[in-house]
Structure 1
Amino acid sequence: MTGPIDPVALAADLIRCASVTPADAGAQDVLTAALEAQGFTVHRFTSGEAPHGPVENMIAIRGQGAPHFAFAGHSDVVPAGQGWTAGAFEPEIRGDLLYGRGAVDMKGAIAAFIAATERVQDHAGTLSLLITGDEEGPALYGTRAIIDWLDARGIRPDMVLVGEPTSDKRLGDTIKIGRRGSINAWITVPGTQGHVAYPHLADNPVARLVRILDRLQRWHLDDGNAWFQPSNLEITDIEVASGATNIIPGSAGARLNIRFNDVQQGAALEAEIRRIVAEEAPRGTVEALISGEAFLTAPGALSSLMSDAIRGVTGVDAEYSTTGGTSDARFLSQIAPTVEFGLCNATMHKLDEAVAVEDLRVLADIYEAVLRKALRP
């Protein structure tokens, strides 16, 4: 690239890279070239093995000392799916929108931030970008590996901005200051297969599974609090593989997910699920996966910094929120105050994902304002 970085052009270059998790497809090469030209030292490494790896990760650092402001994001995207008006990895501007997979989530935000870092090169302290290729996947070898890399070198940011698409109706209306945690659980209740006409020769597991699910559905988790909505448990799958109408099944299973607030802890929720299953089906088993704990960065210096920058550029008063799914902020919040702010999220993960061209340019202006405030010389 020559001349000032255009976030729209850089976003388009990134969209051309079909970086469906865990593939990189050259996306981090594009980022490396743009950042090294600005004086960043770029460290790249791969982590993990198939089927969920290897994952490309990168840490770009410029400056030294305090304060240390870090931008975190992901260069990977979800699969395109069928039915796009044009190629998902063939960026195209139609009207006032840039189309392509990752335009919103979140190649556009990365491009806007790199455009901002080019404008703010006389900053104090340390500026870094923490970019993974494993956010849309199981998140086993991405941001967690980046944190390990930082820890091994004694590097800790003082504040972290994650560029997820948080805006709702218009750019700047929402800053995420926390996220709910998530736990998935798979319940299996064994029985003894047999003929429905001879139930005394079989052991039907369905009734026990139904009792378990009834108790789980009636479980009052909490009422929420000032920043979080009540935790909720949802049964997402029930499987009974009998194969015929006259067979008592040999096993029955179910899957559930709990999205929980900071009143709860994942381990305690898992323990309660196991207790209920053990009481209703002593031979039943539970497999659980805690994707992340709830976190909250209480309103303070970082959120004020963000909201002031947004207001100064757009005139919008941002709302603080903890709604939505999980993100890599759940890991980063363990090492530094962390907030999320980025583009409008209406089309993320959808067919014909698109971002307003003007929003990309305004987002770069907001990020520039943030950097000038956070790393004032």
Structure 2
Amino acid sequence: MILVLLRRAGLVVTAALAATLALAGPAFAHGADAPDGTDYRTEVTGLAPARSGLAVRAIEAGARLELVNRTGRDVEVLGYSGEPYLRVGPGGVYENSRSPATYLNRTIAGDTELSPEADPAATPVWRRISGGQSVRWHDQRALWLESAPPAQVSVDPEREQRVRDWVVPVRDGDETVEIRGTLDWVPPPDPYPWWVAAALGFLAIGAAGLAPAGSAAGTRALRGVGFLLVLGGATAVAFTVGRELDAGAQGVGGVLLGLFSGQIWALLTGLGAIAAGGYALTRRAAGDFALALAGACLALFAGFANVAVLSRSVAPVPWPATAARVMVVLVLAAGAGAVAAGVLRLHAASRTAASRSGDQGRAAVWGLKP
């Protein structure tokens, strides 16, 4: 019996994996190397001196800085040797192919090999990369890139503390403006209670699959699982939208563009769970399989894909990390619980069908005897 259940669960998960990967396409490239969570909080504290029409903020859990220039004139971001690195203005966004920062900032780890033409002392060679008025980039001055924590953090890792104040210089005409910010260590949470909560939720929801199919209790159980799957799917969609907002998307159009160009797989996973849960609520045929399939997609690609949030202090969403953890636990419990409940109900249905077939066969045999 256990082997049969495991085999069916494996088929459901495999189908979920194939369906989701088929829909994913290049969407996994969204945000490039944007972290799923971190223990270092990067914040922009302001511009000195302040500039009307010039705004800077940290996005993607601090992995990138975003500069928006509405001054009507060109502004240059300076690289690590004080060389022109980026230029933003009425004509669009340009990068200097001679600046080492152009190559170092392509990844958050700063491990891109420098081009032979990279020379901070050379005359800039500008290459247009966008027609907009904003630019986003990794900046090592605002990040902690070492695998080991800072010395002061190693001494007292349980206390929130300042790693450093940082400055990124910007040239506005003949004047230098400083983007100022802070980098702080925030102690990570204990993930154990969150995993316990997810496991208990999974067991409670999965147990609904033990209610006899066709009975009033079975109907209530199916509706309950369907409702929780709808709730889990809606939570997954909200979390995905939150990641887009944290990645710098602005307005409904910006969010939709980000979702369909970089987070379509996560969006479809959440929407699929909502649809499957609603389908189960109507008690239609194949509702059990829909629960199991959508639950597997939800748990795998919206739950486990974001489990870093459970053990990191800074989440890639614009709300408190505790709220993000609650959301991920709900998605995990609803998705995995729906798989368990759906597989149990499918197994019970197959046993009932086999029993009825055997009874009919025996009746037919006895009916032939004189």
TM range (shorter): under 0.3
TM-score by length of 1: 0.22
Task: Give me the TM-score of the superposition, normalised by structure 2.
Answer: 0.22
Q: Name the one with the larger strand percent.
A: 1
Highest RCO, 1 vs 2 (Cα 8 Å, sep ≥ 6): 1
Higher helix share: 2
